[in-house]
Amino acid sequence: MKKNSLIKTVSPKQQYAIRRWFIISMLLLSVSVIVIIVLEIPQLYALQSIKKDNKMLVVQTEQFDQVMTRQHKLQQEEQQLRKRQETVNQHNEQLDRLIDNLSHIIHACASDSTIESLQIKNNNFELTACCTQTCHATDFIEGLSQSKQFRNLTLTSLQQTEQKLKLLFTVKGE
């Protein structure tokens, strides 16, 4: 077994090498810490300023979120109102067509003719009227056929009423 002496000192050459190694190591360690700090400080400052800006933007965008939700609700209401307006417009157009058809029927009627009944289902109609002469019934059909709203007009019946002077006729068409 080899005897180790703990009292034996390190030679001055080795002491100088250890000291040199220690100083260089400490210098390199401190330089690397300083470099890391120098490189991280701008990033930390940027992070801090971004957090501050984010807080300000969150406060500012709260109002924007409220405005956007309100605008979205208003757009939905506008769509609903447009749908309702379209249905109202469709009904108005149907009424206008019906009024136009009725005015054509009234103008086609002779002065001594009277309309007894009128049934309109989908695009088909059936009209029953009274007149004094058969020529008035044919004139009525010709007057209606001249307008573009009525098609396929046919005189389906022509009969004498209880009053001997009046004729009851029925017209069908589209």
User: Does residue 83 sit in the same domain as residue 135?
Assistant: no
Domain ranges, residue 35 = 12-108
For residue 17 the two structure tokens come to 């090498």
pTM, 2 dp: 0.50
* Structural contact between residues 129 and 144, judged by C-beta atoms closer than 8 angstroms: no
Per-residue pLDDT, 76: 95
Low-confidence spans in the chain with pLDDT less than 50: none
User: Does residue 81 sit in the same domain as residue 143?
Assistant: no
pLDDT in tens, 46-76: 999 999 999 988 888 888 888 888 999 999 9
User: Does residue 96 sit in the same domain as residue 126?
Assistant: no
Per-residue pLDDT, 5: 63
Per-residue pLDDT, 143: 79
Q: Give the number of domains in the chain.
A: 2
CA distance 128 to 144: 14
Per-residue pLDDT, 4: 65
